[in-house]
Structure 1
């Protein structure tokens, strides 16, 4: 059997003679695989190059303005398919994101503002009013003026119901909305390291940036061991950075005193960027809501 590595230059040379006009009837050239920047995303990608024996310079076998990495090439091909089938990119993303990033708890599938029943004289009502106002502003103001929410409180205080109501309302209005626990999102990122994974970490990062609104439920519950904590802190910081200037809603069972320990000081500090806090506090089974 012939050595594949040894034969690779000959195979590349044979292929290029079929695709590069000036190489068609010539054999006096060398070939190599070189790293060049994708003109769309600037990631490095492998490109075949050739050089005539009498020359010093190497020439890419494809037009330099057409050098794309695999991810960008796939996106361009997908756009062609969608256009041919009269499907908008937003419609395609909405359906894909629903399968991958829309994980409303089963008991809250129909949760909304109307069935979040509270006494109009209670502080709970103020939290509901703030959430309704968030939806109203989201649809009315310019995208760059939208802001984040961080909802803190004990389990059972209505955090997930409120953010589900926000998510379902805005999704019905045509916005790309993601709803997932931080633990599951980090799990998706971690699974990209598995052999044979069809997604890369960069693919997940691109998805995270695409949402008009991303809701990350149960912040701070994702790590159990020190190794997991160190890794999750790093990834959470990346996620928060990716969402700068894109509105994100976080919920957590931790208060301001303990959340920095649960997610790391750097992540917590970054959460203050353009974020409004809603505190849900229970005392002797009576719910008290503080908005600041």
Structure 2
């Protein structure tokens, strides 16, 4: 019997049903002990394969998203952010805005949880079947500048352009030269009406022109980003990081 199971396992692997092949001995043992019908056995086999494929796809997409850390919305201290209600967070988690190609602009000083919120929404989106890319502004500009010459940058930009949701962290953290501003505009133009964008920044849109330099490029970028956008502005004076920092001193 064990030899027959091994043969069936190999056949499953030939059909690229690797997860089912690995799980088969345990499943057959359970089927025999619980007197499953053939129909129940087949249903369990198919269900297990689909479940594992979904889990592996999520694992792959989490890796490709390149989040700086794994911070979920459940870990976000909503009670310390007066600018955002639990109801609003629940609405964001429904991702109607993503289906409608709305953008989110998350503004506020450093340390108030902008990146955590963006990352948490990104992780939640992946769990619900969306493709997500996370990139800091500095990384994005460097990748855009090297896209024509390195395969790594080409692969990264291909994933970004094929994402349903693109998270750009620390937007306008540094001033851009004309070439960088043009590259950024073309990316925003590529994503327009094809993906949603979450932007985090400590500067409001009215200040972006100073860093982009060219008024024409600034207007074009703002036009595409703000066409359909929701702005979340964290006003907390107390830094989120300061509240939850670790200490070397005993209480």
Q: The TM-score by the shorter chain falls in which range? A: 0.5 to 0.7
Cα distance change of structure 1 residues 159 and 146 upon mapping to structure 2, 3 Å threshold:
same
CA distance in 2, matches of 1:163, 1:104: 11
Q: 8 Å contact 2:111–2:239 — kept in the other structure?
A: no
Q: 8 Å contact 1:222–1:232 — kept in the other structure?
A: no
Give the unaligned 5+ runs of structure 2: 1-14, 19-53, 213-217, 241-251
Q: Which residue of 2 aligns with 1:267?
A: 221
Cα distance change of structure 1 residues 118 and 158 upon mapping to structure 2, 3 Å threshold:
same
Q: 8 Å contact 2:83–2:233 — kept in the other structure?
A: no
Q: Which residues of 2 match residues 52-131 of structure 1 at below 5 A?
A: 98-105=62-69, 109=70, 111-119=71-79, 123-126=82-85, 129-131=87-89
Q: Which residues of 2 match residues 1-292 of structure 1 at below 5 A?
A: 98-105=62-69, 109=70, 111-119=71-79, 123-126=82-85, 129-138=87-96, 143=99, 145-194=100-149, 197-198=150-151, 205-223=157-175, 228-245=176-193, 246-263=195-212, 264-283=218-237, 285=238
Higher relative contact order (CA 8 A, sep 6+): 2
CA deviation after TM superposition for structure 1 residue 277, in Å: 1.0
Q: 8 Å contact 2:132–2:164 — kept in the other structure?
A: yes
RMSD of Structure 2 on Structure 1 (CA): 3.5
CA distance in 2, matches of 1:92, 1:208: 20
- SS, match of residue 72 in structure 2: coil
CA distance in 2, matches of 1:208, 1:188: 11
Q: Which has the higher strand share?
A: 1
CA deviation after TM superposition for structure 1 residue 115, in Å: 2.0
CA deviation after TM superposition for structure 1 residue 135, in Å: 1.9
CA deviation after TM superposition for structure 1 residue 265, in Å: 3.6
User: What count of residue pairs does the alignment treat as equivalent?
Assistant: 188
TM-score when normalising by structure 1? 0.54
The Cα offsets for residues 112-147 of structure 1, whole Å up to 9 and x where unpaired, read as: 222222438x62342x54333122133xx893x231
CA distance in 1, matches of 2:132, 2:88: 19
CA deviation after TM superposition for structure 1 residue 92, in Å: 9.4
Give the unaligned 5+ runs of structure 1: 1-83, 288-292
Q: Which has the higher helix share?
A: 2
Q: 8 Å contact 2:174–2:211 — kept in the other structure?
A: no
